[in-house]
Amino acid sequence: MNLTLRRRLPHAVALLALIALLYPLLWLLVTSVKPADEVVTSVDLWPRHFEWSNYGTALDGVSGVSVPRLLGNSLLISLGAVVGNVASCSLAAYAFARLRFRMRGPMFAFTVATLMLPQHVVLIPQYIIFNKLGMTNTYWPLVLPKFLAVEAFFVFLIVQFMRNLPRDLEEAARIDGCGPFRSFFHIILPLSRPALITTAIFSFIWSWNDFFAQMIYLFSPDKATITLALRNFVDQSSTSAYGPMFAMSVISVLPIVLFFLVFQRYLVQGMATSGLKS
């Protein structure tokens, strides 16, 4: 008796914690299909009447820009961030992990130090520069920096991974006359797939969730992302529009949830390795 209790207790506690943790998500789903009067009067988790038209209202979008268009805008920025981060961070990481050059130590230390740099210190000058270049209200400020390996977290993550790859393969390739470029593309890059996938997924999700930079740089409704539109939707509507507002919220987190379900192994693994050996 005592033994089964001791074995079951952790499971029971974990299950309770899970329910508490998932409650806000459940609430979001349910509220997105509740009719306006029920949102205000009842906290039941099961709506008495399903108001699917909330999704119809939400899909109409904000300021005449439809939700598919807003999702497309978000997708464009996020995919840009994915391509940029994977390409530029893997190049830099390879140099830091496998090549020898002057100033390697200080340069890598600089990258690590920028992990601690608050974004706000560079934000205003970046804004001024992009403004001078006529690039505000375009996606360039949100995507271009990603092609310059400025997200130190990813450089760090890929360096960690590449350092642990066996050196034998490269040594063998070098003896066969294979230079660093072919080594990189044909040996290291394919072997680093798990780290690159982790980078891609985090890039996507962070870029998708981003709000601050998008709010600063994008101001016309047709350029807006789903996050910005959601915020404008809130401003325009009262509590009576809770249903459509949360229907739109569901739509906006759907890509993250899907990514999570498909790639959770990479995400959790990437998070775990980034914190260790540090």
Partner 1 sequence: MSVSQIDVTGPSARVADRAGRGRRTRRGREARWPAYVFLTPWMVGAVAVTLVPMAVSLYLSFTSYDMFSAPHWVGLRNYTEMLTDDPRFWRSVLTTLKYVVIAVPLKLALALGAALLLKRLSSRGRGFYRSAFYAPSLLGASMSIALVFRALFNDGGTVDRVLGTFGIHIGSWVGNPHLATYVVVLLTVWQFGAPMVIFLAGLQQISPELYEAAALDGAGPWRQFVSVTVPMLSPVVFFNLVLEMIQSFQVFTPAFVVSGGNGGPADSTLFYTLYLYERGFTASHMGYASAMAWLMLLAIAAVTAVMFKVSRSWVFYADEAE
Residues 123-182 that bind partner 1 (CB under 8 A): 123-126, 128-129, 131, 145, 147-150, 155-156, 159-160, 163, 167, 179-181
At 160, list the tokens.
């960690």
Short-list 254, 272, 258, 278, CA closest to 68: 254
Please, which residue, 192 or 249, has the CB nearer to partner 1? 249
Return the range that interacts with partner 1 (CB under 8 A); candidates 49-57, 64-72, 190-198, 229-237: 229-237
| 100 belongs to the binding site for partner 1 (CB under 8 A) | yes
Nearest distance from residue 210's CB to partner 1, in Å?
A: 8
Nearest to 39, CA basis, from 263, 244, 261: 244
Binding partner 1 (rule: CB under 8 A), the pick from 120, 190, 220, 238 is 120
Binding part of the chain for partner 1, among 49-57, 59-67, 68-76, 242-250 by CB under 8 A, reads: 242-250
Comparing CB distances to partner 1, the nearer of 66 and 99 is: 99
Among 40, 133, 258, 262, binds partner 1 (CB under 8 A): 40
Nearer residue to partner 1 within complex by CB, 139 or 246: 246
Minimum distance of partner 1 from residue 190's CB (angstroms): 17
For the bound state, the minimum distance from the C-beta of residue 217 to partner 1, rounded and expressed in Å, comes to 11
CA 218/CA 227 separation, integer angstroms: 11
Please identify which residue in the block is written with the tokens 């379900």. 261
> Quick check: 277 and 160 in contact, CB under 8 A?
yes
Instruction: Centre a 10 Å sphere on the Cβ of residue 161 and count the other Cβ atoms it contains.
Output: 24
Output DSSP code: residue 149: T
Q: Smallest Cα–Cα separation from 243: which of 24, 52, 20?
A: 52
62 binds partner 1 (CB under 8 A): no
CA atoms within 13 A on the CB side of 267: 15
Instruction: Please report, as a single letter, which amino acid is at residue 198.
Output: T
x-or-dash pattern for partner 1, window 74-93, by CB under 8 A?
-------------xx--xx-
- To partner 1, the closest distance from the beta carbon of 33 in angstroms equals 15
- Single residue of 212, 236, 258, 262 touching partner 1 by CB under 8 A: 212
Nearest 10 degrees: Cα torsion 187, 191, 193, 195: -110
CA angle in degrees (0–180, nearest 5) for 9-11-17 = 105
